[in-house]
Structure 1
Amino acid sequence: MRGPAVRLSRELAHAVCEQFQATARQRGWKLFAISVMANHIHLVIAAPHAIRTETLFRDLKGYASKAMNERFGRPASGAWWTRSGSRRRLHDEEALFGAIDYTLNRQRGVLARFDAKVIGSDCPCERPPEPRAQALVANHGTAQSRE
């Protein structure tokens, strides 16, 4: 990668948050929580088991990159995201609620946030994901320069 590490501004963070929501809606995935910081993102999302995590994150990051490129231009490094990122499956309700709490309430420097509980009366946080769905928590960083 060429160029400086990517650090999201508040405007970029809101664009990412909005596009992640749009992609999840379009794909029929349940997005529970997002916190976007300048150099990384935490999110909790549920998708059918048939969806590979690589596909899920390719779509989320791909559509967000496209939206940011169109609105703000490409970053100097040429990439908005790191290739890797941590992700883990959440196997029960306790793990799901813990991940949502961690994502929404235990981050510093949050520039944009999405909490499914505050939108509408159908709160997906009040019930666990469907049995055939996988709930995931992910931490994906913005692109870092390599020297």
Structure 2
Amino acid sequence: MREPPVLLGDAMRKVVAETIHAAALHHCWSIHALNVRSNHVHIVISAPDQDAGYVMRILKGRSSLALSAIEPRRRMWWTRQGSKKRVYSDASLEAAVRYVANQDKSWLNDT
């Protein structure tokens, strides 16, 4: 049976942001921009010598564990896929950061 769509409230969005920051720190990855939405995440991250799919699995896995600690009845938090676009220039990096930063994030000004 499928679960209803995920809609994260402010507290859960903050948990996801904190969990992603902790995972990036643990793996020595650099977050250039992060925006946790109610049902998905935008992130621009540097993870040298790492497969983008691996990075996504780590971030989704860690955040799923954190969310399940709050709401243990839910089994799936994220879709299996996601965008893994690579950035090859400083201009492209700036554009990606600007895109993520310009998403509405008034819910969390301290991250």
| TM-score, normalization by structure 1 | 0.69
The aligned amino acid for 1:8 is L
Indicate the structure (1 or 2) with the bigger Cα radius of gyration.
1
Percent of matched pairs sharing the same residue: 34
Aligned to 1:47: 47
Relative CO higher for 1 or 2, CA cutoff 8 Å, sep ≥ 6? 1
Partner Cα separation in structure 2 for residue 113 and residue 54 of structure 1: 29
Unaligned runs of 5+ in 2: none
Aligned to 1:63: 62
State the match for 1:20 in structure 2. Answer: 20
Deviation (angstroms), 1:36: 1.1
Amino acid paired to 1:73? P
1:6 corresponds to which residue?
6
Asked if structure 1 preserves the Cα contact closer than 8 Å seen for 2:3 and 2:76, the reply is no
Moved over 3 A (4+): 108-115
1:95 aligns with 2:88: no
List per-residue Cα deviations over 1:61-91 (Å, max 9, x = no partner).
Answer: 101111111133242xx20000111121000
By percentage of residues, which structure has more helix?
A: 2
List runs of 5+ in structure 1 lacking aligned partners.
116-147
By percentage of residues, which structure has more strand?
1
- 1:112 Cα deviation after fit: 4.0
Q: CA RMSD in A?
A: 1.9
Within-5 A mapping of 1:107-146 = 107-108=103-104, 111-112=107-108
Q: Secondary structure at the match of 2:86?
A: strand
Q: Measure the CA separation in 2 of the matches of 1:72 and 1:100.
A: 31
Aligned residues: 111
